[in-house]
Amino acid sequence: MSSLAGRVALVTGASQGIGRACALALAAKGATVALAARNEAKLAEVAAEIVAAGGVAHPFALDLSCEESIQACAKGVIAQLGKVEILVNNGGITRDTLTLRMKRKDWDDVLSTNLTGAFLMTQAVMGSMLKARWGRVVNIASVVGETGQAGQANYAASKAGLIGLTKSLARELAGRTITVNAVAPGFIETSMTAVLTEEQKKAMTSQIPLARTGTDRDIASAVAFLASDDASYITGHTLDVNGGMYMG
């Protein structure tokens, strides 16, 4: 029997990249997966991919910058699937520019989506986990939330905040057998990094001891582990998946 058989997982930002990979990995372990993102057409494609592989998945519309959308998504998932036991807070955006040029809206949009959105979604499904006295929350942070990055003050701040949120929630929820952890990816090949020039990619790869960029599957494997019973004694931890790029 798969290790997550009978569990219900909700993955935000599941239409592509790391979110898609996480959904596929959790479904492969036997979980029923709720796929949430703004792009419903892409969600349908991911759901079809999971079903074709013998898994179970359902798409749900979600805008992480909108509290009403978050509440509606969470209620819809619980109404249709009965519960949420595993939450992967993956959805996020970037608005990169140097701080001197950063507009207030660039700051607010990133913090609202990446940090406040994760907080509100966790809050919205927490009751389901508390009722079951079992749960897994996995927040997708970033190496830049640990090291900082020029031109990404807003993104780095949101991811650093996510790590702080992870530790605080872990303390609050441990008594109900709910673990809360973060995964901090390094340089991963996704649509977010596709906009970088080859020169920028080479410069970043040169900082990685394992001498290669990561894949979305590298992150998904870490998430699937933290969602499993094998990780039942791990909480409040940030798991760095970065090829040695940062060793904290």
Q: Establish whether 233 is a catalytic residue.
A: no
As a whole number of angstroms, the distance between CA 1 and CA 5 comes to 7
- 130: its two tokens: 């508390």
As a whole number of angstroms, the distance between CA 74 and CA 170 comes to 21
Given the residues 155, 161, 183, 235, select the one marked as catalytic.
155
- Sheet order of strands, 178-185 included: 56-61, 32-37, 8-12, 86-89, 135-140, 178-185, 238-241
Query: What radius of gyration, in Å, describes the C-alpha atoms of the chain?
Result: 17
Q: In residues, how long is the chain? A: 248
Closest C-alpha among 86, 122, 126 to residue 6: 86
Q: Which residues are known to be catalytic? A: 155
